[in-house]
Amino acid sequence: MPDEAPSSKSKWRRRAIELTVFLAAFFAIRAWQRRDVAAGDAPPLDGVTIEGQRFELAGAEGPTLVHFWATWCGVCKAMDGNVAAVSKDARVITVAASSGAAEQIRAAMAEQGLVEGERLAFAVIADPDGRLAATWGVGAFPTSFIVDARGTIRSVEVGYTTELGLRARLSLAE
């Protein structure tokens, strides 16, 4: 007797098991990536941008996107345009971790087309030794935080996020 083809029911069962395994792995990886990330009250973030502007996280009138990235990170490069678009009409500060001094960061941004004339597409604080990233518990790049006006972290995303995703998270934090 020839082998019988699997029934429709067994195909669906197999697909359901595969989907369950995939989702379990996906959520386990996300949990592992976020295991040390700051939550609750945002750690301090005060400094001078590489363009010489003073920045203080505290005292904002609305939510702030705090985006940790690195010049050597491929996923960060893919996300740069999303951050630049959001920075045109929302409060955004980025932290370039373990990416060298201001001149090196500016040069990397210029290569990516993120310098408009003399102005950068978004504000950047240099974190050459990764100290700020460590304070915020950032262990993977990019990592994006949405901090509300009270200084509470409302959202954390590790990895690529679309412009729409960033805008939605900012909107929910208002």
With 70 as the cut, is the pLDDT of residue 2 above it? no
With 70 as the cut, is the pLDDT of residue 40 above it? yes
pLDDT in tens, 96-122: 999 999 999 999 999 999 998 889 999
Domains of the chain and any CATH numbers? 1-33 (no CATH), 46-172 (3.40.30.10)
83-89: average pLDDT: 96
The C-alpha atoms of residue 55 and residue 78 are separated, in whole angstroms, by 25
32-41: average pLDDT: 75
36-61: average pLDDT: 89
With 90 as the cut, is the pLDDT of residue 35 above it? no
pLDDT in tens, 123-146: 999 999 999 999 999 999 999 999
pLDDT recorded at residue 70: 97
The C-alpha atoms of residue 130 and residue 47 are separated, in whole angstroms, by 14
